[in-house]
Copies of this chain bind each other. A is one copy, B any other.
Amino acid sequence: MRAGRAWLGQPDVTGLSDLAGVVIQPLGQIEDHRGAVLHMLRSDSPLFERFGEIYFSLVLPGVVKAWKRHQRLTQHFAVPVGQIRLVLYDDRSGCPSQGRLEKHILGRPDHYLLVRIPPLLWYGFQGLGATPSLVANCTDFPHDPQESESLPSDATHIPYRWKE
């Protein structure tokens, strides 16, 4: 695929991320007395390239799901229920943000954001708060277990220690 230039793409105009290829966007939340309509991704968004799959990861309070990276998949995360801490680590050789690590809180109402995670970036997340959190993930290819790599959550390669 385009692994050699995986960090190219839309620049992050919100200033919320300095990682090449990562884009973070506030999402619409239309609340009323009945509940809310929560935006995620539309085909006419500049961020949209191709639909592969939409699925959810339910994460129990305190649980860490880390570390993982994809060879070719671009992911879009949003957290419509609960809150997570998302940690991103860039070890992409030759990439302008190589060596950089970022932590982001995702979840309503103050951090209802779309996060674009490009291929080859390490990511992990932890459920925060006292109730389960739901991570929605819209990807550009359907899930393929052959194209992802994992590291244990305490891998020394990544300069972040999860507090479980």
Which residues on A are within 8 Å of B, measured CB to CB?
Answer: 33-44, 48, 51-60, 63, 65, 80-81, 127, 132, 134, 136, 138, 141-143
Contact B60 A38 (CB under 8 A): no
Q: How many copies does the complex hold?
A: 2
Interface of A is mostly: strand
Contact status of A142 and B35, CB under 8 A, knowing A80-B56, A80-B58, A81-B134: no
The reply to whether B59 and A35 form a contact with Cβ atoms under 8 Å apart is: yes
Candidates B51, B54, B60; contact of A34 at CB < 8 Å: B60
Q: Which of B43, B44, B48, B56 contacts A37 (CB 8 A)?
A: B56
Q: Can you give 22 A-B contacts (C-beta < 8 A)?
A: A34-B60, A34-B65, A35-B60, A35-B63, A35-B127, A37-B57, A38-B56, A38-B57, A38-B58, A39-B55, A41-B53, A42-B142, A43-B52, A43-B53, A43-B142, A56-B80, A56-B136, A58-B80, A58-B81, A81-B81, A81-B132, A136-B136
